[in-house]
Amino acid sequence: MIEARELTKRYGDRTAVDRLSFTVRPGLVTGFLGPNGAGKSTTMRMVLGLDAPSSGTVTVAGQRYDRLGAPLRVVGSLLDAKSVHGGRTVRRHLLGLARSNAIPRRRVDEVLELVGLADVADQRAKGLSLGMGQRLGIAAALLGDPEVLILDEPVNGLDTEGIRWIRDLLKSQAAQGRTVFLSSHLMSEMELTADHLIVIGRGRLLADTDMRDFIRTNSQGGTRVRTPDDEAQRMRALLESRGARVALDATGGWRVTGLGPSEVGELAREHRLAVHELTPVLSSLEEVYTQMTRSSVEFRGAETPYETEEAFR
């Protein structure tokens, strides 16, 4: 569990994090979203005791980070995978961390297996590829078998295989009852990985909500329509004449917004057009998020709604 209460960080006259209150619960992957400069990294650094709040508090497993005796055994983090002493081997790097946190040596070999680095354990860290370096960062985060994991952009530099690996790893860590808190600017990845979302803009809380609810509540009603090829343009014209927006989707069907499946079906019947597919579709997380950051509608589902245009400016 991570609990922030009225957490605030000011740099001079700039407020990077502004009275942020949220709880990151165990058993779920919680995604942390917000545009660049929103205050995500600053928040994560305060959780990890790397930055002192100007006011407010944040605790991990009920304690301030600096009061944790062996922090790696409570919270594992990956903020910047490059912050490793390049001259050390992979194993020595992890052994050093293990020793300073009273973690048994055999756990080093366990995590090396877990992250797929056992074969390069004796290589120097500076020779690792970006993806391997990221895995080493994750190995360090998992070393103390912590109940809380905090990862800032963990899939940066990973290939498709690596991205899928991280996703499965984080989901399984959450399924074991751990608290997993991660930021990513990759919306499609976040949509696949996170169960819950905390969204901030200009340091303030915009939404603290279940991922599916967030998408369902804020989706524009959409419908995928497929007709025989020779009727596709007629269908499009008809839909547009009823005020719908129509675009070709990735599957080659029409993606219709503004009319639901029943309205589209009735329209087709009226004009004796064949319909081969009629599927309600939700917006993607990226679509919902982008639309909200552009318009000034309020985030529904937010505990404390703000005007988002203001919050994102």
User: How many whole angstroms from its chain centre is CA 268?
Assistant: 40
- Confirm or reject binding of residue 204 to ligand ADP (CB under 6 A): no
Q: How far is the CB of 184 from ligand ADP (least distance, A)?
A: 11
- Confirm or reject binding of residue 197 to ligand ADP (CB under 6 A): no
- Confirm or reject binding of residue 50 to ligand ADP (CB under 6 A): no
Q: What is the number of helices (H) and of strands (E) in the chain?
A: 11, 13
Among positions 36, 104, 160, 243, the unique one binding ligand ADP when judged by CB under 6 A: 36
Looking at residue 128, its amino acid is L
φ, ψ dihedrals at 77, nearest 5°? -140, 155
Based on CB atoms, which residue is closest to ligand ADP, 52 or 250? Answer: 52
Asked if 35 contacts 309 with a C-beta cutoff of 8 angstroms, the reply is: no
Looking at residue 307, its amino acid is E
- Confirm or reject binding of residue 301 to ligand ADP (CB under 6 A): no
Residue with tokens 């404390």: 304
Binding to ligand ADP, residues 70-109 (CB under 6 A): none
Candidates 40-48, 212-220, 223-231, 296-304; binding stretch for ligand ADP (CB under 6 A): 40-48
Asked if 76 contacts 67 with a C-beta cutoff of 8 angstroms, the reply is: no
Distance CA 215, CA 212 (A): 5
Based on CB atoms, which residue is closest to ligand ADP, 184 or 283? Answer: 184
Among positions 42, 134, 293, 308, the unique one binding ligand ADP when judged by CB under 6 A: 42
Among positions 24, 28, 38, 190, the unique one binding ligand ADP when judged by CB under 6 A: 38
- Confirm or reject binding of residue 151 to ligand ADP (CB under 6 A): no
Question: What is the number of other CB atoms lying within 10 angstroms of the CB of residue 209?
Answer: 20
Among positions 7, 8, 39, 155, the unique one binding ligand ADP when judged by CB under 6 A: 39
Identify the CA nearest to 16 among candidates 54, 69, 56, 62. 54
Site for ligand ADP, rule CB under 6 A: 11, 14, 16, 34, 36-42
